[in-house]
Amino acid sequence: MQKWKLLFVILLILSTFANSPAQVSVRWELLENRFENPKFHQAKLTLKNESPAEFQSGWKLYFNSVFLSVNPEVKSPDFKIRHLQGDFFVLEGKDKTPQFESGAEIIIEYRSRGPFLKNSHAPEGLIFLKSNGDHFEIKDYEVLEISVNQLAEMAENTPLPIPTLERIYKQNAGLDLLPLNQLPPYLPSPKSWKYTGETLKIKNAGLAVVGDPEFVQASKVLLLAIKDGYRPSVDRTEAPIQIRIVKIGELPEEGYKIKIVDRRVLISASSPKGALYGVQSFLAMMPPTFLTEPGEEFILPQVEITDEPAFGYRGFFLDVARNFQPKSQILKLLDLMAMYKLNVFHFNLANDEGWRLEIPGLPELTEFGSKRGFSEDESEFLWPYYASGADAENSIAGSGFYSLADFQEILAFAKARNIEVIPEFGVPAHSRAAILAMEKRYEKLMKAGNSTEALRYRLADPDDKSSYLSAQNFKGNTVCVCQESTYSFYEKVVTEVKTMYQSAGVELKNWHTGGDEVPGGVWTDSPGCRNFLAKNPEIKFADLNDYFRSRAAEILKKNGLEMSGWEEIGQIHKGNSVAPNPKFADQNWKLYAWNAVAGWGGEDMAYRLANAGYPVVICSSANFYFDLAYDWDPNERGHTWSGVTDLYQAWKTVPGQLYLSHDQTIEGKEWSWEAARESFTKLTPEGKKNIIGVSGQLWTETVKSSEMLEYYLFPKMLGYIERAWVGDPAWSASESEADMKSKRLEEWNVFANLIGQKEIPRLEQLLGGFNQRIPKPGVLVKDGLIYANVQTPGLVIRYTQDSTEPTETSPIYSSPLPHRGGQKLRVFTPAGNAGPVVTLD
């Protein structure tokens, strides 16, 4: 009996150790941060063995960081940090890591190029590998964060605009709360509108909808919305509400008119697209709670509206390869796009870090290429890029793909909302997931003795010794353009995806090839390419990129598809400069002009390409890249490589005069409109015709969930939505710079009020609600008084004076407060959602 008790105790102890939440704890701390040359930051990792046993020598620590040099300098003499692929690194011994005793601490200091800007840029996704091959994720990890004031001190001698509370206050200067009747009726703002009377609140009246036979879809959308939002106990003595959707041939295809007089609503359009936009606009004038809290009252503003878009292409790009998004989130975004009249969903389904669509006949693409998890050699699945987790089967952001049924549902859902889905499978670079998946296929079929089939879709030259590193620090991420199997693979994907569209009842018209960021050094030491060039002496090594683009275009043309790609597919390198490539200017390839970092010299590339003859979509990284952080606050997540982008930066873009879209360079230096205008390429009459539209982008390296995705988009994306529909803002037509800036502030005040009073409350209710960023208040302390303001009037500032955090019931700031120290302020939405708390010392 005693032996059984002893055995039970031993098992209990072992179970306790096995389930212990912390075997190793880690703390990260910034030691030095330099913003002037040489720019660098120095930090340290402190590891502590929290387990009761030692770890034998040879252990390793894996982690992720997009923001670390590929070859960081490690100050601790026994250790080194080795770059593996992309953002994945390993900390290991120069020989072997030493034995790690129970309770002991190990400190590793390192130095990396570039200043440290964001708390989220510290190493993440820590995985501890024991010498016996077992591994575990480190959950007890602390990052000693820096505050916005500390970062401001570090960057004191630079022009970088760190958003202290005082700076935010000054940025918000000139904004005040406007009456609702001075605001547009909805977003995006219609071309012309006027209120003709007081808004009617009609209770328990009957309602009838009569639609033109061509506008069945628009009538259906309207009826379903009314059914959900208006549930009257019909009073026969009340005059009924009459809604008619009629056809008027002279309106533009996507244009519409709305006229509401008394209880009569007239929506006019010339096409189903215009009719649907008219219906969406009518619904946008309903209260935010219309669909979530149905009632007996119907709101009818008395208004006349005439509207049409400035651009035929109004796109939203989403990358699901870096980090995955579930089908439900895609459908939610498509509903939102329709509501805001965006008509192209550019869907990036493959990249180095993941392949996200099932392809019949090529199961390895999703069996291997759609999964991320930890292994030492990346043999079973891709490594856990972007800290997506060690467990491939439970990696929400790292693992996942869309089945045929999923994808066809997405296509049909988009079609019903007048949204074209353009798939992107980037080639020749950004293809590591596909390359490794096809290597898996090759190995499997070779073992089965089927060498012909094994070679059919192989993407890599196995003897290629070329040394290169991609823009995202990947090796081996570019397909071999010199072997026919690459083109067989590409055509296989094209034809299978085309079949998916046909099966869903959707026409596939446009195909995005990617084509960006082909690394220098590719194919330089490829025996396959040497043999190919020897057999084809008319093709030079420098022509390989163009050769690949031509072959891809032939495949697409054979399948009845239009080719598009990022700006690089229409560019040529001339020494250190980049210019439009005249070779393909007559091929009607659509180019997506993205590389527009303010101050780098490529801000006018969209115009240069359009003047050269290419149809161009403006994707300006400095204005329309939503994965950029909202500002330079170290607690705001996101990239900073093209500066930062918020609601205002997106809204003030001028597609027709892009030099007016900036006030500062990426470094925070003054941007002179006059100097930029003189050096900027001017659009020719033909070039103006070639600007076919705009696109907003969300790349997802730093986006780990659907909630984070929504935070990155809203309200920032709303500024882009205004530009996509309205085009150039009215202020940009003023004659002098002083007039432009004065009128810009007036128009910005109207738009900021529209967002604060109407759109943020609306997004809190629609489609289950959206996770939106609520800003900090701007605060200025002057002459013993606290002055506060907010970027989007309509949101309220609440405060406390007893050091407690402001809540939904705290007093509302309405006039300057005496500064006593310890006051806390916080911005709230109408639904009670709140932003960060700020404390005044």
- Asked if 494 contacts 561 with a C-beta cutoff of 8 angstroms, the reply is yes
One domain, residues 28 and 132 = yes
Q: Is the domain of 131 the same as that of 38?
A: yes
Percent of the chain with pLDDT over 70: 98
Quick check: is 295 in a domain?
yes
Residues 199 and 282 in one domain: yes
Asked if 252 and 137 sit in the same domain, the reply is: no
Mean pLDDT of the chain: 96
3-state secondary structure of 639: strand
CB 451 within 8 A of CB 476: no
- Residue 192 pLDDT > 70: yes
| pLDDT for position 130 | 97
> pLDDT band at residue 575, thresholds of 50, 70 and 90?
confident
For residues 231 and 224, give the distance between their C-alpha atoms in angstroms, rounded to a whole number: 12
Q: How far is CA 512 from CA 176, 434, 614, 746, in A?
A: 44, 16, 15, 39
307, 330, 349: which is the final residue of a domain? 307
Which pair of structure tokens corresponds to residue 585? 């200017």
In a domain, 657, yes or no: no
Q: By three-state DSSP, how is residue 817 classified?
A: strand
The verdict on residue 712 lying in a domain is no
- Helix or strand or coil: residue 782? strand
Decide which of 307, 332, 357 is a domain's last residue: 307
Alpha helices, H only, 214-326: 216-229, 272-284
Q: How confident is the model at residue 841 (pLDDT cuts 50, 70, 90)?
A: confident
Residue 176 confidence (pLDDT) above 60: yes
Look at residue 751 in the predicted model and tell me its pLDDT: 98
Residue 180 in 3-state DSSP? helix
Average of pLDDT values for 66-85?
96
Specify the pLDDT at position 13.
47
* Interval 424-438 mean pLDDT: 98
Domain that holds residue 284: 192-307
pLDDT at 64: 98
Residue 517 a catalytic site member: yes
Co-location of 135 and 211 in the same domain? no
pLDDT of 17 higher than 50: no
By CB atoms closer than 10 A (0-12, 13-18, 19+), residue 812 is exposed
How far, in Å, are 144, 315, 617, 745, 837 from residue 724 at the CA level? 41, 8, 11, 20, 34
pLDDT interval class at 576 (50, 70, 90): confident
Chain segment 777-821, per-residue pLDDT in tens: 999 999 999 999 999 999 999 999 998 999 999 999 999 999 988
Of the residues 269, 290, 307, the one at which a domain ends: 307
CATH number at residue 142: 2.60.40.290
Q: What is the pLDDT of residues 250-272, one digit of tens each?
A: 999 999 999 999 999 999 999 99
Q: What is the pLDDT of residue 749?
A: 98
173 CA to centre of own chain: 29
Q: What is the largest CA-CA distance in the chain?
A: 97
| Token duo for residue 381 | 């699945």
Is residue 74 a contact partner of residue 90, using CB atoms and an 8 Å limit?
A: no
- Which CATH number characterizes residue 203's domain? 3.30.379.10
User: Is 118 part of any domain?
Assistant: yes
Q: How far apart are CA 582 and CA 565, in angstroms?
A: 16
Neighbouring-strand partners of residue 834: 828
Using alpha carbons, select from 137, 115, 121, 118 the residue that is nearest to residue 61. Answer: 137
- 738-748 average pLDDT score: 98
Same domain for 122 and 217: no
In a domain, 97, yes or no: yes
Which residue in 73, 166, 308, 517 is the catalytic one? 517
Report the relative pairing of strands 124-129 and 60-64 from DSSP bridges: antiparallel
In terms of pTM, does the model score above 0.85? yes
Q: Are residues 204 and 296 in the same domain?
A: yes
* 143: Cβ contacts below 8 Å, ≥ 6 apart: 27, 28, 119, 122
Helix, strand, coil % in the chain, rounded to nearest 5: 30, 25, 45
Q: Domain for residue 107, yes or no?
A: yes
Q: Is 8 helix (H, G, I), strand (E, B) or coil?
A: helix
- Residue 567 in any domain: the answer is no
**Is residue 57 domain-shared with residue 124, that is, in the same domain?**
yes
Q: Is 803 left (phi over 0), alpha (psi -120 to 50) or beta?
A: left
Beta strands in 561-719, from DSSP E residues, in sequence order: 562-566, 571-574, 577-580, 590-593, 616-618, 691-698
Q: Which helix (H) or strand (E) holds 448?
A: none
Residue 442 domain-assigned (yes or no): no
Helix (H) / strand (E) containing 92: strand 88-93
* 312: exposed, middle or buried (Cβ count in 10 Å: 0-12, 13-18, 19+): exposed
Domain count, the chain: 2
For residues 32 and 141, state if they share a domain.
yes
- Quote the percentage of the chain above a pLDDT of 90: 96
Specify the pLDDT at position 5.
52
Q: In this structure, are 138 and 201 located in the same domain?
A: no
> Can you tell me the mean pLDDT for 75-90?
97
